[in-house]
Amino acid sequence: MQQANGVSNRRAGGRAQAADPDFVRFLTALRRIQDSGAIGFRVEPDKESGKRERLVMFFTREEIEPDVQQERQALRRILHLSPDRMDFQVIYGADTDRDDVVAIQTRSAMQILGVMSSFIRIPEEHVRDGRAFPAPTPAAGVPPIMAIASGPTRPDGAFAAVQYRDLWFWVDDRDLRSKGVFTFPADPHDAGRHRRKAPAAGPHDSRPVTRPAAWDLRPIGRPCGPVIHCT
């Protein structure tokens, strides 16, 4: 998600900027409300046309804990939602002037890869030399979605690693969060391709056949080269 009711998430590349503080607060509130079960989504017929279906976000009506109620109020405030309504239509868009609608602008595949690449740790001299865009300032209170380290020598215990020019880039095998995020875009990246014949098992190739062999970490604005290979 890039934007919700005018509140913007992190951007990368030439337009790099940190996430709005309110966006971080919105995500925190939404996660806590979801964990409590006090919010949901449903698909229903459009009441105006009676034909098209629409997505609706709703708050449950049962009694909730005071802290969850506070998170609900925070979410209403950030998204400028009506304090009295319990359900809100979800539409595509960056913003809306209605208080009964949640406008959500999603990211394209290239935007997703661009934002993910902004979490690659690169040498400061690469930024100074104009070889890569600077990464946005990390949002306070929210852990990065993934971490890709870099260094001059081949790492031990890496989940995935590649050498590019004079640097190694890798995902640590003990970093479950990064491994999960790293693997996620590999599946659609390989979608539609014919399955490969199972390779002969070797000391450096024990992955399952269905596991993607590699995916490209070369969105515009970050290091131009690494293709990380799973090992």
Asked if the structure places residue 224 within a domain, the reply is: yes
* pLDDT tens-digit series, residues 212-226: 333 344 333 344 344
- The number of beta carbons lying within 10 Å of the beta carbon of residue 150 is 17
* pLDDT tens-digit series, residues 39-61: 999 999 877 776 678 999 999 99
Residue ending a domain, among 105, 137, 156, is 105
Selected residue with higher pLDDT from 82 and 50:
82
The residues, ordered by sequence, that sit 6+ positions from 117 with a Cβ below 8 Å of its Cβ are 12, 217, 218, 219, 221, 222, 223
Of 2-6, 56-60, 183-187, the one with minimum mean pLDDT is: 183-187
Q: Are residues 68 and 163 in the same domain?
A: no
d(CA 175, CA 178): 6
Look at the chain and report how many structural domains it folds into: 2
Torsion of CA 131, 181, 137, 142, to 10 degrees: -170
Question: pTM for the complete prediction?
Answer: 0.70
Taking each helix axis from N to C end, the angle separating 21-36 and 66-79, rounded to the nearest 10 degrees, works out to 140
**Which three-class secondary structure state does DSSP give residue 181?**
helix
Q: What is the mean pLDDT of residues 137-142?
A: 78
Q: Considering the chain, what percentage of its residues have pLDDT values greater than 70?
A: 78
165: confidence class by pLDDT, cuts 50, 70, 90: confident
Q: Are residues 75 and 185 in the same domain?
A: no
Q: What is the mean pLDDT of residues 118-140?
A: 87
Selected residue with higher pLDDT from 67 and 228:
67
Of 159, 138, 161, 140, nearest in space to 151 by CA: 161
Rounded alpha-carbon distances, angstroms, from residue 84 to 73, 102, 136: 11, 15, 37
> In this structure, are residues 56 and 81 in contact, taking their beta carbons and an 8 Å threshold?
no
Query: Per the structure block, which two tokens stand in for 92?
Result: 């595509």
Which alpha helices (H) appear in the chain, and where do they start and end? Answer: 21-36, 66-79, 109-117, 124-128, 176-183, 186-189
* pLDDT tens-digit series, residues 105-121: 999 988 888 888 888 89
Residue ending a domain, among 82, 105, 128, is 105
Q: What are the φ/ψ torsions at residue 15 (nearest 5 degrees)?
A: -105, 30
Residue ending a domain, among 105, 128, 149, is 105
82: confidence class by pLDDT, cuts 50, 70, 90: very high
Burial state string for 194-209 with b = 16 or more CB within 10 A and e = fewer than 16: eeeeeeeeeeeeeeee
* pLDDT tens-digit series, residues 18-33: 899 999 999 999 999 9
Which long-range contacts does 92-97 make (Cβ < 8 Å, 24+ apart)?
94/2, 94/3, 94/6, 95/3, 95/5, 95/6, 96/5
Asked if the structure places residue 198 within a domain, the reply is: no
Q: What are the φ/ψ torsions at residue 230 (nearest 5 degrees)?
A: -70, 135
Torsion of CA 25, 31, 35, 39, to 10 degrees: 90
Domain that holds residue 33: 3-105
H and E: helices and strands count for the chain: 6, 11
Q: Are residues 100 and 158 in the same domain?
A: no
